[in-house]
Amino acid sequence: MDVPTSVESPSETWDTDLNTHPRRSELQDILDQYVREGLPGVVLFVRTPQGQWNGAAGYANIEAAQPMLPTHLHHAASITKMYTATAVLLLVEDGLIELDARISQYLPESVYEDIPNGDQATVRQLLNHTSGIPDFSSNLSYDLDFFNDPKGSYSSDRLLSYIHGQSPFCSPGASYLYSNANYLLLAMIMDYVTEAGHAGVISTRILQPLGLNATYYKNERGYPTPPGIVNSYEDIAGDGRLMNVSDLAIHNAGIFMGNAGLMASSADFAAFIEGLLGGQLIGQEMLSEMQIWDERFRYGLGLNFIETPYGPAIGHSGGDFGVMSRVRHLPDVDATLVLLVNAGDNGAIGGLFDRLWDEAMQTSLDAL
């Protein structure tokens, strides 16, 4: 693998005077402890009515001993789906897309004809993962091809080819199956119905209005290796030894669209979820549609809903080679948490991430 040997400095710096949360020293101790237990690097952002804190521990690059900073950029992985869903709903507001129209209304027959439920599934069903369309990343042929040629050429057509001819998971709308193919198809729909394409909609109508200068998708200068992007690590063998997989993380970001590929700082992730739920991007009607979710599935239109001791946590998580990320807003206590780790969840690392999330949430929110 072509392993990056250094990480450029992030383009922004975090003003430590903004670290006003009363449990800030305890939160830093928690991050330090989990790095000692095996996480390569970690960033945590917390904002509650009592104050905010943005801290980091460990390394953005282990080989060069570069410390992790709060402003380093991290891969979003599936957190990208929140941005994609928001872009779709903006186009619904524009009248370019209808939520309950079949996707065959927007895509060429050559795209949807071989996709299970491709002639029946609706835009809404793609958004909430009830289309019954299988996930290409769960296909054995995809797994074999990826592991044999991880840096190969994987166009959107090739990714969709892995589900051609398969049986649908269910009839459209009958059940839930999380599928990356749904969000790839949403990005393709936006590319067909707009001149700017889905990436242009995300850039001009989400990132720019919110002033997200530390967020990068397909159109931002420097993508997919913007200044400040961390190195990524994976416990490939599950034996506790971390391998630098930065080249694979960057490659995956480049080939995926709609379902993954975005990169941002922790503060920008927080500003996005707060801006979205605060009504700064889409109107109340679409925001209400976005938050309609089934108790069985806990997934709305691009948003995941998790019950916590502090009320529902709204947002999304992401995971890929060398990536674990989570963004949540808790409206009942007006709190936002973002946790970013530059390692995949293989081996014991995944368990550390979940434990750290629970401890960070309890420490920051019990102060309320």
Residue 4 inside a domain? The answer is no
**150 or 215, which is more confident:** 215
pLDDT, tens digit (0-9, with 9 covering 90-100), for 78-109:
999 999 999 999 999 999 999 999 999 999 99
Please say if the pLDDT value at position 139 is more than 90. no
Residue 31 inside a domain? The answer is yes
- Let me know if 240 is exposed, middle or buried by CB neighbors in 10 A (0-12, 13-18, 19+): exposed
Q: Are residues 208 and 189 in the same domain?
A: no
Residue where a domain stops, chosen among 193, 218, 247: 193
Instruction: State the average pLDDT for the chain.
Output: 94
- Let me know if 225 is exposed, middle or buried by CB neighbors in 10 A (0-12, 13-18, 19+): middle
Quick one: tokens of 22?
């009363």
Residue 250 inside a domain? The answer is yes
Residue where a domain stops, chosen among 193, 218, 239: 193
Instruction: Tell me what pLDDT residue 129 has.
Output: 97
Average pLDDT over residues 333-338: 98
List strands edge to edge, sheet with 323-330: 66-67, 51-61, 41-48, 335-341, 323-330, 311-320, 304-308
User: How far apart are alpha carbons 210 and 358 in whole angstroms?
Assistant: 29
pLDDT, tens digit (0-9, with 9 covering 90-100), for 17-67:
889 999 999 999 999 999 999 999 999 999 999 999 999 999 999 999 999
Instruction: Tell me what pLDDT residue 4 has.
Output: 54
Please say if the pLDDT value at position 3 is more than 70. no
Confidence (pTM) = 0.96
Q: Are residues 120 and 181 in the same domain?
A: yes
Instruction: Tell me what pLDDT residue 367 has.
Output: 64
Number of domains in the chain: 2
Quick one: tokens of 221?
């200068």
Coil, strand or helix: which one is 230? coil
Instruction: Tell me what pLDDT residue 150 has.
Output: 83
Quick one: tokens of 159?
């990714």
Q: Which residues contact 169 (CB under 8 A, 6 or more apart)?
A: 116, 132, 133, 134, 175, 177, 179
Q: Are residues 287 and 145 in the same domain?
A: no
In 3D space, the residue among 312, 315, 226, 223 whose CA is nearest the CA of residue 277 turns out to be 315
Model confidence band, residue 176 (pLDDT cutoffs 50, 70, 90): very high
Coil, strand or helix: which one is 247? helix
DSSP state of 320: E
Average pLDDT over residues 315-327: 96
Average pLDDT over residues 347-366: 93
Instruction: Write the DSSP assignment of 284-304 as a string of letters.
Output: HHHHHHHT---TTT-B-SS-E
Q: Are residues 76 and 113 in the same domain?
A: no
Instruction: Tell me what pLDDT residue 2 has.
Output: 52
Residue 41 inside a domain? The answer is yes
Residue 154 inside a domain? The answer is yes
pLDDT, tens digit (0-9, with 9 covering 90-100), for 190-240:
999 999 999 999 999 999 999 999 999 999 999 999 999 999 999 988 888
Coil, strand or helix: which one is 26? helix
Q: Are residues 205 and 56 in the same domain?
A: yes
Domain boundaries, position 31 = 16-80+200-365
Q: Are residues 135 and 251 in the same domain?
A: no
CATH number at residue 60: 3.40.710.10
Average pLDDT over residues 283-295: 93
pLDDT, tens digit (0-9, with 9 covering 90-100), for 252-288:
999 999 999 999 999 999 999 999 999 999 999 999 9
Coil, strand or helix: which one is 51? strand
Residue where a domain stops, chosen among 193, 210, 232: 193
Q: Are residues 143 and 279 in the same domain?
A: no
Please say if the pLDDT value at position 134 is more than 90. yes
DSSP state of 102: B
Please say if the pLDDT value at position 325 is more than 80. yes
